Structure formats: structure tokens, C-alpha cells
Amino acid sequence: MTTVEQSPPPSSQLRELVFGAARAAAVRAAARLGVADALDDVPMSAEELAAAVKTQPGTLRRLLRALVCQGVFTERPDGTFAHTEMSRLLREDDPNSLRYIALWCTEPWTWNVWPKLDEAVRDGGNVFQKVYGKEFFPYLNDDAPESAHVFNRAMTTSSSQSAKDVAKLLDLRGVTSVADIGGGQGHVVASLLEKHPALHGTLLDLPGVVENADPRLREGGALAGRVRIVAGDCREDIPVQADVYIIKNILEWDDESTRRALANVRAAARPGARVVVIENLVDDTPSMRFTTAMDLLLLLNVGGAKHTRQSMVDRLTAAGLVIGEIRPVNPYLHAFECTVPG
């Protein structure tokens, strides 16, 4: 039976650390094979699971053994495998599923850019363009449809989990319109419109993203009558008038893109409009390992960064916004409430 090891000595810890790719690959393989989906509450043998997910039993057992060491699945004394809290999160139908986040963090392009981290640290910029010959988002939407799908599902997962928190936090009394800039498939807009029956909303994101907007917002959807969907590039133009602009997990790319996006919000917004910027902060998070890893991935793919409270304040101030309260949305996200000056 495979067991979870407790606190190995430093030499083992470092050896394990440099084999992190194997752990990420094991989780990815399990997610792609659908192992967690095939297993429900009844424990199964490796042979039964292999038949269900169409793999060789011997190699599936090896994969499971590697995962069990990390607490993903457990092996019982009779040699059958059962779910743990972590393995359940790989199920597509779990209400808190992280299946698409697991796939997103391990997509094929990530394996091509990680080896260039020393280069990115030395030069201080993104390496994606050098590896793929174009910017990250155009590559994703034009050349890697499967990765784009995974990305959009992963964003939807994290948005749907945080959208309710955003809806709870935002005081929209007296507000008639909101706009979500780079709002992905529109989970935040949909949550806000559902909570506030008189509110109108706009969702702006890249064409390939909004064409797969949340069904509630698309023609025939319950909220379609109160939403406008704009396909566009917020670094070029934000042709949207709203009382409140939401910019969530967007300003993590290169500084010039952040500068242009904020300048376009300022140009579009009337004096007194609110701009709510929502970000994970690398200096205020309960999950430092995840956030610092994402920070490095953002350096590699878009030349970006997870912000500190101060680096966010600096950019919002430089854009001429008046910063009000900075409040936690949930343990992972902070909202910077800003106003467009008169």
C-alpha cells in the first residue's frame, strides 16, 4: 500500500522539488484520462479503473501510486483506490472542481516556456514571443484552440467561484450600468445582473472569448435583454459607457498594456464613474506557493506580474484614478475601489 510521506530530510526535499514536473504531469495525466470521474464512492482496483478509462492496468497503477504519495487518491489495505478531498476536485462534476485549472497550469505551452525562466529573469521580460513567434493571447485564440478552451473553462471556474464574492462585495445602490473589461465569458456580469434585476451590463473581451460567452448572456439567455457584448481589445479602445467599470485579473500583463487599458477606461468613463480593479496580491495571500508560481508564469507568457498592493496603487495613481478603499473580496482577491476625477 502506498502512503503519504511526512517531512522528508532536506536532501530529499530538494530532490523532490526538482522533480516537481513529474508531479504536475501526473495530475495532468489523471485529469486528461478522467480517472477521478471514473471513480465514485465505491473504491476500485487498478484493473477496474484501467478498464473504465481505457489504459493499461500496470501503468495506471504506477500513475496512481505517484499521485497517492501526494494525497491525490488513496490506496486501501485491500489494494483498491478511493477518493481523497484533493482527488475529488479533479472530477468535472464536483461543485468546486479544479479540473480545468489543473489542465490550464500544465498546458503544453507551459512546458515550452518554463526552461527559459533563467532567460526571463536575466532580461526581465516575456519569452513567449521568442518561442512561439507571436503574443500569448493571439497564439492561444488563433493557434491553440484546445488550450484556449481549457483557459476559458479555467477562468470560468475561478470566476464563477469568485463572482458571487464580487457580487456580495460591490455596493451597487444607485448604479444603473456596469461594464466588465476583459470579463472572460461573463460570469461576474451575469452574477451582478442576477442579483440586481434593474441593472444593465456590458461584457468586453477578445472576439474568440465573447463568442463563447455564458449562455445566460447570449441571445435567448435569461439576461440577454440587459447585456451588451463587445468584442474588442481594451488596449486599443474601450467604447463603453458605464457607472461602474470592473477590471478583474487583467492588469497582470506588461506595464505598457496596463497603462493603455487604464488610459482607455479613463477616456471612456465620465467623471465620477467608479473603476473597481480586482487582483490577487503577491504580498497578501494565504497561498504564497500558488501565487508566486503564477507570478513567474505571467512573466514568461505575457511579461507580466502578480502585483503587490503598492505596485497596483502606483499604476492606478499613474493612470490618474483616485483610489478609495482597498478591500479583500475573499482571502485570495483584493478590490481597489477607484473613481474617475472630475
Q: Which is nearer to ligand SAM, 66 or 179 (CB)?
A: 179
For ligand SAM, give the closer residue by CB, 43 or 304. Answer: 304
Q: Judged by CB, which is closer to ligand SAM: 87, or 159?
A: 159
Q: Write out the H or E segment, with its range, that includes residue 335.
A: strand 333-339
User: Strands, E, within 141-271: which ranges?
Assistant: 177-181, 200-205, 227-231, 244-248
Which three cell numbers, joined as nine digits, stand for 99? 479540473
Least distance between ligand SAM and beta carbon 17 (Å): 27
Beta bridge partners of 162: none
Q: How far is the CB of 16 from ligand SAM (least distance, A)?
A: 30
Going by DSSP bridges, is the β-strand pair 177-181/244-248 parallel, antiparallel, or unpaired?
A: parallel
Q: How far is the CB of 79 from ligand SAM (least distance, A)?
A: 42
For ligand SAM, the closer CB: 40 or 211: 211
At residue 332, the 3 state secondary structure works out as coil
Q: List contacts with ligand SAM (CB under 6 A).
A: 137, 155, 158-159, 182-184, 205-206, 209, 233-235, 248-250
CB of 125 to ligand SAM, least distance (A): 17
Using the minimum distance from each CB to ligand SAM, give the nearer residue, 61 or 315.
Answer: 315
Closest separation between CB of residue 290 and ligand SAM, Å? 14
Phi-psi label, residue 184: left if phi above 0, alpha if psi -120 to 50, beta otherwise: left
Question: DSSP secondary-structure letter at 127?
Answer: -
- Give CA–CA dist 159/166, Å, rounded: 9
Q: Residue 209 or residue 229: which is nearer to ligand SAM going by CB?
A: 209
**Nearest distance, CB of residue 13 and ligand SAM, angstroms:** 32
Q: Give the bridge partners for 81, in sequence order.
A: 44, 75
Instruction: Please name every residue paired with 276 in a beta bridge, in sequence order, or none if there are none.
Output: 246, 337
What's the CA gap between 177 and 244, in Å, rounded?
7
Give Cα 1 to chain centroid, integer Å. 35
